[in-house]
Each structure stands twice: as C-alpha cells, then as structure tokens.
Amino acid sequence: MLKVLALFHCVLLSVMLHAQDIDLLTKAKEESAKEDSSKTELVAATFKSTRLINGHSVETIKEGLLDFRISHRFGFVNQGLYDLFGLDNATERMGLDYGITNRLMVGIGRSTFQKQMDGFIKYRLMQQSTGKKAMPLSVTLLASAIVKTIKETDPTIKRTTSDKTSFAYQVLIARKFNEKTSLQIMPTLVHYNLVPLTGDPNDLFSMGIGGRQKISKRVSINAEYYWQFNKFDGYHNSFAIGVDIETGGHVFQLHFANSTGMTETTFIHETVGDWGKGDIHFGFNISRVFKIKKKKNIN
C-alpha cells in the first residue's frame, strides 16, 4: 500500500513538474487570447491611396504628412497615330494634401482643365474595426469647392467668382472584405451656382461605386463608376479602371478613364468622353508623401 502511494506520489509530482514546464507559454497564450477578444482593432489600409482613381477613397492622410500629387490625363486614345493615341495632349492637376489629424485632412489643387482651383476638406467619421466594438464599415465625409478661372470665350459675358464656383459633397462608405478586396459606394451631391441652361438643375445627384482587388502585396486593380441621377444634356457617366503600384513612399496609379477633369464636379457631371466611341484617356496619378511634422517621441 505504501509503495503504491509512493509511486502515485512520484507520478503526480513528475506530472506537476512537467505541467510547470509547458505552463508559462500556454498560460500567456491563453491570457492574450482572452485579452484580444475584449479589444477593438481598427481595420487599416482599405485602399492604398486617398484617391480611388479620380475620386476620393475613405482613406485620409495621417497626421503631419504632406502628400504632393500630380495627376495627368492624356488625350483621347481614339485620336489615332496623329496624336500618338492621345499622348500629344495632356491635362494635369497638381495638388497638395495635408493631414491635420489622423482623421482630418485638407487639400488644394490646380488643374489645367478649365484652369480650375480647387480645395477640399475630408473627415474620417467612422473606421471599420474588428473585436469587441466591431464596426462593419468605414465612413468618410468630403466637401470640395471648385472655381473655374478660365476666361470666357465671349468677352461681353461677365461672370463673378461665385458664378464660376461649384461644390461637391460626398459620403464615402467602404468595407474591406479581406486583405485583397475592398468596395466603396459614394452618394454624391453637386451644387452649381450657375448652370449651362435655364432649365438645368443646380443640384445634381449621383451614386458612385468603386473597389480594389489586390493582385500582389504592392499592386491592386481599381475601378470606379459614377451613375448620374440627373444630369446636364450631352454628358456621360464617368468610368475609370486602373492599377495602383506602391513603392515605399510613392503610390503610382495608372488608369484609363473617359473623364478629362479631375475634380469631383467635373469628372462626375462634365464627362464628355464616351467609352463606346473610344473616348478614353490614359492617365496617371503620382503621390509622394513627405513627413512635415515630427511625431512625439515614439519611445
């Protein structure tokens, strides 16, 4: 009896010691799994850039970063060899975006198209998250103003700056479904202070839909389409498709689009190009991010 008990004792002891050997790591893992379930984690990088193609994505630039953007749209590819498939002509927008906080950014830009000056303010209202307080969607608000400073062809017509101004308001709603796929919808209201014809509406509504599909860690395919609920006569819906290529601090976006303008008002409601007729621009956006404000000591 004593022997049996002693043996039992030994076995138990060795089991206990053995249990202690693996205990710490398993314990730490269990604890951390428990903690993780009570944490909320934000979903980052729904898109690579603050722009899908022409329009904005839900992404904002982070605090203290300055994004210098150059956007180019060549001429229509159906111009043929004479214009080297549009490459002889180009419209361009130069812009500077700045992140005031991680959620709030502002930007200004100048386009050669209609000699536009534009400015916008963008605020990240909600960010998709997982964990305890899971949020299925990201929501970002955008307001932009555009002034067309190009001279009237008829010098007798006098237009005030207000006449030449239009505004765009967007609610950008996106979801990153997985590491590769993100989709976004963009209900949009555009207000023109002055419209082409007397009967034209001053407020135009549209719905945008866009998305990205990553094909590698640094390359994704993006597409963007805007459906106009009401529109000016003779204009088409904007559609663009392209690739994003990320290299360190740069993002290159190469794409095909039927829109010439690169500001919300113009690419949504003033697109003259028709995909069916080959009125397609080849274009690119280059984004270079600079660090302006040093973060507080990371330590």
Partner 1 sequence: MKKTLLILLLAVMCTTSQAQKIFQTKSGKVKFFSSAPLENIEAVNNQVDSKLATNGQLVFMLGIKGFRFENATMQEHFNENYMESTKYPKAVFGGTITNLAAINFDKDGTYNTSVTGELEIHGVKKKVSIDGTIEIKSGKVSVKSKFNIKLSDYNIKGSLIGEKIAKEVEVTVDCKYD
Residue 44 or 209 with smaller CB distance to partner 1: 44
Q: Which tokens belong to 182?
A: 């993100």
Site for partner 1 in 88-117 (CB under 8 A): 102
34 binds partner 1 (CB under 8 A): no
37 binds partner 1 (CB under 8 A): no
Stretch that binds partner 1, among 7-15, 75-83, 86-94, 136-144 (CB under 8 A): 7-15
Query: Which of 7, 44, 70, 125 is the binder for partner 1 (CB under 8 A)?
Result: 44
Query: Which of 165, 246, 256, 274 is the binder for partner 1 (CB under 8 A)?
Result: 246
Stretch that binds partner 1, among 37-45, 143-151, 185-193, 232-240 (CB under 8 A): 37-45
Stretch that binds partner 1, among 73-81, 199-207, 255-263, 286-294 (CB under 8 A): 286-294
Residue 90 or 135 with smaller CB distance to partner 1: 135
Q: What is the 3-state secondary structure (H, E, C) of the chain?
A: CHHHHHHHHHHHHHHHHHHHHHHHHHHHHHHHHHHHHCCEEECCCCCCCCECCCCECCCCCCCCEEEEEEEEEEEEHHHCHHHCCCCCCEEEEEEEEEECCCCEEEEEEEECHHHEEEEEEEEEEECCEEECCCECCEEEEEEEEEEECCCCCCCCCCCCCCCCEEEEEEEEEEEECCCCEEEEEEEEEEEECCCCCCCCCCEEEEEEEEEEEECCCCEEEEEEEEEECCCCCCCECEEEEEEEEEECCEEEEEEEECCCCCCHHHHHHCECCCHHHCCCEEEEEEEEEEECCCCCCCC
Site for partner 1 in 160-189 (CB under 8 A): 179
φ, ψ (nearest 5 deg) of residue 19: -60, -40
Residue 67 or 224 with smaller CB distance to partner 1: 67
Residue 209 or 219 with smaller CB distance to partner 1: 219
Shortest separation between residue 49's beta carbon and partner 1, angstroms: 11
Residue 108 or 292 with smaller CB distance to partner 1: 292
**How many residues make contact with partner 1 (CB under 8 A)?**
40
| Other Cβ atoms within 10 Å of 268 Cβ, number | 27
Site for partner 1 in 115-154 (CB under 8 A): none
Shortest separation between residue 181's beta carbon and partner 1, angstroms: 13
Query: Which of 53, 58, 65, 186 is the binder for partner 1 (CB under 8 A)?
Result: 65
Shortest separation between residue 37's beta carbon and partner 1, angstroms: 13
- Give the interface with partner 1 as residue ranges (CB under 8 A): 1-2, 5-6, 9, 12-13, 16-17, 20-21, 23-25, 27-29, 31-32, 41, 44-45, 62-65, 102, 179, 217-218, 246-249, 289, 291, 294-295, 298-299
